Amino acid sequence: MADLDDDELLEALGVEVAPIKAGGRTPREERIIAGFEDILRFHEAHKRAPQHSESSDIFERLYAVRLDQLRKLPEAHALLAELDKPGLLSEAPAAPIDVDELDEDALLAELGVSSDPSDHADITMLRHVRPLAERQAAEEIADRTPCEDFDKFQPLFERAERELKDGIRKAIPFKGEASVEQGNFFIVGGQFAYVAEKGEEFESSSRQPDARLRLIYGNGTESNLLMRSLQRALTQDGNGRRLSEPDAGPLFGPLFGAAAEPDDIETGTIYVLRSLSKHPFVAEHRMLIHKIGVTGGKVETRIADAENQATYLLAPVEIAAAYKLHNLSRIKLENIFHRLFGTVQLDLTIEDRFGKPVKPREWFVVPLNVIDEAVERIRDGTITELVYDAQTARLASGVQRL
């Protein structure tokens, strides 16, 4: 038995000898599967195969070239048959690219990468690759769907365009955190957009007020953007504009009385806040320092996180007064209060949560009864005849251009 080799010894002992099967895949097969899984993820996200296109980013172009190569490999069809549920390998490409016929520069150009040193200092620099903000904007546009009841909105667009042409409305550059309310018109991405609906405001992940909008576009499409997404798009668009409300007279419109008529459009609320800050100056003059603002939503929602926002002096606030408005322009109304009480605007600088000095606006050292009188004078249309006399702390006759 000493002359037996290992296999003979095992056979003599009754142990069956069977060849060991290779259970794993070759490195080439693993690479083919991994590459195809990337293509499948793209298909799942975009509901289509990757395409060769000037507007495609480098990843889609790469997947398109890779898919062309896999379609030409018989072994790939057999290896990927169970994975290829969408039938991508059997789908005929619109314009296949034969990468075997491309030199290095041509292949790089197909993938959107420039190898020209005059264009870039590094061959790894990419061309035609859109920045994140641009891709986000493109995704928001892609989410638009046909507006089924556009016939209801088309007259609004036609009237707004006509009023803009006639000078009744103005196209005003959109600035940062400016408000977005139901009934507003904007120009974004070169298109008219109308806020048909605005949902309940809520706090975003960045602790800022946000809301879901139904936004109708002049081309007959619509989207359900978030308010902050629209604000971001308008801010990043160099030509983003807000359309002003129609200028129907020296102030806002025909209604200045307290009671709303059936056809009036409710446009918002004037709110007056009092700070509960422990800052020495604020605490000493608490009953005279008021924040005056205008909102189209709920005041309680707007001030819910006051203690964490510099605009509210990083302290809780209480609502001192609130006045409902009808047929009034909030932007013009805010301008009236700033011009009327501008000489007694609170001159106070505080540090925000990051230690950055901030000078809050819309806080005025003015008694509540004077604010109440100002609102009444807005309602009866006589506010243009008055100015605020800080010496006597009352409204007085004078010439005030508002």
Is there a single domain that holds both residue 372 and residue 294? yes
User: Of 75, 97, 128, which residue is a domain's last?
Assistant: 128
Cβ-based neighbour number of residue 132 at 10 Å: 7
Query: 176 in a domain, yes or no?
Result: yes
Is there a single domain that holds both residue 235 and residue 292? no
**Strand (E) positions, 202-255?**
202-203, 209-210, 213-217, 221-223, 241-243
Is there a single domain that holds both residue 50 and residue 109? yes
Query: 12 in a domain, yes or no?
Result: no
User: Of 86, 104, 128, which residue is a domain's last?
Assistant: 128
Whether 151 shows a pLDDT value over 80: the answer reads yes
Counted residue by residue, the chain has a size of 402
**Strand (E) positions, 49-160?**
145-146
Q: How many domains does the chain have?
A: 3
Query: 163 in a domain, yes or no?
Result: yes
Query: 7 in a domain, yes or no?
Result: no
Lowest mean pLDDT among 181-195, 247-261, 352-366, 378-392: 247-261
- Both tokens assigned to 243: 């359309």
Answer yes or no: are the C-beta atoms of 230 and 164 closer than 8 Å. no
List pLDDT tens digits, range 301-352.
Answer: 888 888 888 888 889 999 988 887 766 666 777 778 888 888 898 888 887 7
Whether 216 shows a pLDDT value over 90: the answer reads yes
Q: The domain containing residue 325 runs over which residues?
A: 266-397
* Coil vs helix vs strand at 117: coil
CA distances from 65 to 37, 89, 109, 127, 128 (A): 14, 13, 12, 17, 17
List pLDDT tens digits, range 339-388.
Answer: 888 889 888 888 776 777 877 878 999 999 899 888 888 877 788 778 88
User: For the whole model, what pTM was predicted?
Assistant: 0.38
